[in-house]
Amino acid sequence: MTLTLYYHPFAAFCHKVLIALYENDTPFVPVEIDLGDPDHRARLAALWPPTLFPVLEDGANGKVLPESTIIIEYLSAHYPGPFAAIPADPEAALEARLWDRIFDSFVMLPMQTIVFNRLRPENLRQIVEFLLDQTRRRMRAQDVTVTVTPAAVDWIAERGFEPEFGARPMRRTIQREVDNRLSDLLLSGRVSPGGQVTVDARDGGLDVHTGPSPSPAETA
């Protein structure tokens, strides 16, 4: 078995590749990636830095292939079977590729935008809380308690959402605005084991300071 597919069962772009594999009974090892798990995420990022799935790894040829369309082209060329995702006839092949592009560009991507636009503030707050839990856990491992005020959660939810990309930029916002600043506090010795850090929204920005919050806050 040489093919490994990094995927998620609910990810539409992965379905394209799964269809190509299943139609030809091509043997492969499925590796489900949970992007909420930092280890899974790091594993996918090491293969394909944009951290999008599907990604196919072919151990036989030492190849790592991202992008559903490219994977299907690769499977057609290297692991052909009775089902020809890319027809042999060049004109028919062009038409298959055209439909693939139409589907991706005018169905799947706009659909993602529609789904993202339906995300309500409370969903976004839940996503922020979920991502902040990872930050809190990391800091707890250093014996530092992180308190994030509700105002800070709202601030992150607002800044980390882009209609085109949904909540995808949320993690980067937390990394830039919270994680990096917490790392600075640790590295500079301004917070040490047993310490406490508060993340609050103030004057249009995030305020990350040592010590407890003066306002009612949610404590990890």
Ligand X SMILES: N[C@@H](CCC(=O)N[C@@H](CS)C(=O)NCC(=O)O)C(=O)O
Side chain identity at residue 215, one-letter code: S
Q: Which of 35, 84, 151, 220 binds ligand X (CB under 6 A)?
A: 35
Q: Which is nearer to ligand X, 18 or 93 (CB)?
A: 18
- 119 part of the interface to ligand X, by CB under 6 A: no
Which of the stretches 62-70, 131-139, 144-152, 195-203 binds ligand X when contact is defined by CB under 6 A? 62-70
Token pair of 81, please?
């079977």
Q: Which is nearer to ligand X, 98 or 212 (CB)?
A: 98
- 53 part of the interface to ligand X, by CB under 6 A: yes
Contact predicate 8/53, CB 8 Å? yes
Provide the minimum distance between the beta carbon of 96 and ligand X in the complex, in angstroms, as a whole number.
15
Burial pattern 33-52, b for ≥16 Cβ within 10 A else e, equals: bebeeeebbeebeebbeebb
By CB under 6 A, the count of residues binding ligand X is 11
Q: What are the φ and ψ backbone dihedral angles of 58, each rounded to 5 degrees? A: -110, 100
Q: Which of 3, 5, 6, 13 binds ligand X (CB under 6 A)?
A: 13
Measured distance between the N- and C-terminal CA atoms of the chain, rounded to whole angstroms:
44
Q: In what order do the strands lie in the sheet with 218-219?
A: 205-210, 196-202, 145-148, 218-219
Spatial neighbors of 177 by CB under 8 A, at least 6 apart, are 156, 159, 206, 208
- 12 part of the interface to ligand X, by CB under 6 A: yes
- 47 part of the interface to ligand X, by CB under 6 A: no
Site for ligand X in 66-105 (CB under 6 A): 67-69
Site for ligand X in 161-180 (CB under 6 A): 168
Provide the binding-site residues for ligand X, judged by CB under 6 A. Answer: 11-13, 35, 52-54, 67-69, 168
